[in-house]
Amino acid sequence: MPVGLAYIPLFARLARGNTLSLRENAYVSPSVALGAPNWRAILRDIVPNIIGVIIVLIAITFSWAVIAEASLSFLGLGVQPSTAS
């Protein structure tokens, strides 16, 4: 579990950066200008555009997390033998 917690800032930084860049695009401004609530603009315009980047990062990060967990177990710092990792 601590290996997974170490990657949270990476996901937060990527999501925030993409959200800030997409917020300035031409297709987000009209929905907000027409009176749509912020949550609707986020769900309809921003989330579908950042989900692909997040999925790619999940795939890459998962592989690194497996390697880190295996390395810790090899050194004897992982989970105990009776517990599944």
- 4-45 residue pLDDT tens: 788 899 999 999 999 889 888 887 778 778 888 888 888 888
Percent with pLDDT over 90 in the chain: 28
- Residue-number span of the structural domain to which 15 is assigned: 2-74
pLDDT of 71 higher than 70: yes
Separation in Å, CA 52 to CA 48, 59, 69? 8, 11, 26
Q: Is 46 domain-assigned?
A: yes
CA-CA distance, 28 to 34, in Å (whole number)? 11
Q: Is 81 domain-assigned?
A: no
pTM exceeding 0.75: no
Q: Is 85 domain-assigned?
A: no
Q: Is 26 domain-assigned?
A: yes
CA-CA distance, 78 to 36, in Å (whole number)? 49
Q: Is 80 domain-assigned?
A: no
Closest CA to 4 of 65, 48, 59: 65
pLDDT band at 51 (very low <50, low <70, confident <90, very high): very high
CA-CA distance, 6 to 79, in Å (whole number)? 17
Closest CA to 41 of 60, 50, 55, 28: 28
Q: Is 29 domain-assigned?
A: yes
Residue that is written with structure tokens 């987000």 in the block: 28
Q: Is 79 domain-assigned?
A: no
Number of domain units in the chain: 1
